[in-house]
Amino acid sequence: MLKLIDKFDRVHDYLRVSLIDRCNLNCFYCNPKKAMAKSMPKKDIMSLEELTRMVKIFVVNHGFKKIRFTGGEPMLRKDIMKFFEQIYEIKRHNNFDIGLTSNGTMLAPKLKRLQDLGLNRINISLDTFDKNKFHYITGHDKIKSVLESIDEAEYLDFKPLKVNSVIMKGINDNEIIDFVDFAKNRNINVRFIEFMPFGNNSWQDDKFMSYKDIKNVVEDKYNLIAIKGEKNTVAKDYQIDNHIGKVSFISSISDHFCSTCNRLRVTASGKMKLCLFTNGGHALDFKTMFSERGMSNKEISNELAKAVLGKAEKHGAVQELITFDKNQMMTIGG
């Protein structure tokens, strides 16, 4: 087995795969309406066969322990359940976690079958409990479906069940305590995420709220007990004292975690990114390696090892990131 180790001795064993570059919401921090027309034609998206072959290479050849499927909104893929059936066949013979990140609008009816097919980690995005504000952030009236998906995931006892909330000053920062109240007596980990700059998302410093400021708001009402996380965790995790719920903070901007990064990302078109914050460009193109170049799995594994050596030590400062115009969150896959 060939471990993927970069020149900073970071071992990579976590893959995030975007299954589709389209979404049925238009959250302005991820998928502003002006970006919608740029969705790729179907022929440019990785096929089921290409996706499963790629996952098998990472799991079997490189010992990856965690694969998370993202989008866009992954549930928009018409062949999504067939895809998870094929991933389950790989999992039957290999030990790795399967995760899914979804906006929750189409998820509830499929959760039980997905669980049966080995899905054991679920993240659902929700930035507000206010119907009008939900429409303002996403451009749609789908909050009821999102809440139903969270309820169904909790009923099915998904562990962990994480609710991701991007906090933006002057927009939803007044709901921070509402989110903690929502999670405190449930088997839910609410994760507050710093507003990150991506192409066309109109990131502004006056909307940014650091994780320390968010945490201070929470601690005005609740006592938080730190939970010792895994070496490669991206979140600062806390138990809500005297409650079963958990709170986490993801500080991608104010306190980055690049030194322990173990992640690689593949876009819906098969392009591998070494970092979430890159202005276009890619390290490898799986679709090309599979079809045009006809490379064997062993050859691709060797190319992977070489590519990972080129990973930078850390991402740039926010002043640099806000100048990028080719790194839209939705196309990268989060």
Domain boundaries, the chain: 4-332
pLDDT of residue 259: 84
With bands split at pLDDT 50, 70 and 90, how would you rate the model's confidence at 109? Answer: very high
4-332 folds as: TIM Barrel (3.20.20)
Question: Rounded to two decimals, what is the model's pTM?
Answer: 0.91
Cα 272 to Cα 284: distance, rounded to the nearest angstrom: 5
Residue 305 has pLDDT above 50, yes or no: yes
**Of 56, 42, 102, residue with least CA distance to 300:** 56
With bands split at pLDDT 50, 70 and 90, how would you rate the model's confidence at 326? Answer: low
Per the prediction, the chain carries an average pLDDT of: 88
Residue 96 has pLDDT above 70, yes or no: yes
156-202: pLDDT as tens digits: 999 889 999 999 999 999 999 999 999 999 999 999 998 876 556 56
DSSP code at position 129: S
- Are 245 and 180 spatial neighbours (Cβ–Cβ below 8 Å)? yes
Residue 46 has pLDDT above 90, yes or no: yes
pLDDT of residue 37: 47
224-273: pLDDT as tens digits: 999 987 777 888 999 999 999 999 999 877 777 688 899 999 999 999 98
DSSP code at position 59: I
Among 75-79, 280-284, 292-296, 322-326, the range scoring the smallest mean pLDDT is 322-326
Residue 315 has pLDDT above 70, yes or no: no
Q: What is the dihedral of CA 71, 143, 198, 306, to 10 degrees?
A: -20
